């Protein structure tokens, strides 16, 4: 399993929210690039970079920061937040992201998942299936769609998607630990999907548990920023699972 640190950007700073609530914000650094370089120095290979301003505005805001991180580090960056068109998806990839996280746009019309795969290929895309109150959350987690987890995953599989990030919004930023009953059955039902888990990861024990479920990767944000997990320990999980 790959363990991926998360940097959430708001107003140019590295922040964390609780349960996706914009009014529950803690700022950790005015220079996210320094965080990214520290992760690289610790041996970490991947980075989950979320544009919270973009999620609120409906378009990517921090592409220059993405470009800096992509050019000044060797980190493989997946980027999300406000990417709601084919054009924006292409712009994010051109700015240096290895993969693009698509959520709101992906679930806007039934034809979008297939069009994205045709245009950008499955290795460049991650479907962000963010679950809140049993439904897929969209528009910066502020609204609920009518889709449930299984329905979303099955539709994505039919369109040729391979990477699916499933976040339990109720636990995101809480460090309560991930919900065992949430991830294990999902991986067992859809073994062909490379699942990326997140939401509440608070310790190395949590990461080992998610690894035991067969997840492709796990994302942690607040735990590493609060020093509950060290960057060096996180780097121990940087092993790409076999195809």
Measured distance CA(90)–CA(119) in Å, rounded: 9
So what's the pLDDT on residue 133? Answer: 78
So what's the pLDDT on residue 174? Answer: 65
Set 51, 130, 168, 206: catalytic member: 130
So what's the pLDDT on residue 177? Answer: 81
Measured distance CA(1)–CA(242) in Å, rounded: 10
Let me know if 147 is exposed, middle or buried by CB neighbors in 10 A (0-12, 13-18, 19+).
Answer: middle
pTM reported for the whole predicted model? 0.91
- For each of the chain's 243 residues, which pLDDT tens digit applies? 999 999 999 999 988 776 667 667 788 888 999 999 999 999 999 999 999 999 899 999 999 999 999 999 999 999 999 999 999 999 999 999 999 999 889 988 999 999 999 999 999 999 999 888 778 877 766 777 778 889 999 999 999 999 999 987 767 666 778 887 888 999 999 999 999 998 889 899 999 999 999 999 999 988 998 899 999 999 999 877 766
Element (H, E) at 55: helix 52-57
Instruction: State yes or no: is 130 an active-site residue.
Output: yes
Instruction: State yes or no: is 34 an active-site residue.
Output: no
Residue 167, both tokens: 């976040």
Q: Which domains does the chain have, with CATH numbers?
A: 2-235 (3.20.20.70)
């Amino acid at each position: 399993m790959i363990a991926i640190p998360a940097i959430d950007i708001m107003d140019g700073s590295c922040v964390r929210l609780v349960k996706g609530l914009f009014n529950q914000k803690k700022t950790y650094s005015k220079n996210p690039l320094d965080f990214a370089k520290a992760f690289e120095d610790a041996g970490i290979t991947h980075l989950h970079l979320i544009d919270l301003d973009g999620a609120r505005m409906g378009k990517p805001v921090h592409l220059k920061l993405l470009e800096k991180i992509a050019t000044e580090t060797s980190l493989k960056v997946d980027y999300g937040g406000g990417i709601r068109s084919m054009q924006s998806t292409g712009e994010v990839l051109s700015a240096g992201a290895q993969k693009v996280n698509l959520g709101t746009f992906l679930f806007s019309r039934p034809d979008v998942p297939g069009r994205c795969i045709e245009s950008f290929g499955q290795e460049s895309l991650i479907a962000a299936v963010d679950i809140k109150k049993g439904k897929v959350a969209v528009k910066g987690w502020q609204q609920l769609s009518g889709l449930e987890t299984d329905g979303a995953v099955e539709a994505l599989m039919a369109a040729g998607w391979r990477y699916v990030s499933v976040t339990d919004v109720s636990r995101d930023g809480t460090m309560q630990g991930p919900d065992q009953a949430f991830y294990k059955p999902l991986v067992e039902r859809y073994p062909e999907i490379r699942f990326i888990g997140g939401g509440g990861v608070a310790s190395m024990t949590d990461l080992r548990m998610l690894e035991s479920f067969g997840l492709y990767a796990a994302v942690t944000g607040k735990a590493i920023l609060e020093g509950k997990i060290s960057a060096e320990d996180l780097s121990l999980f940087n092993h790409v699972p076999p195809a």
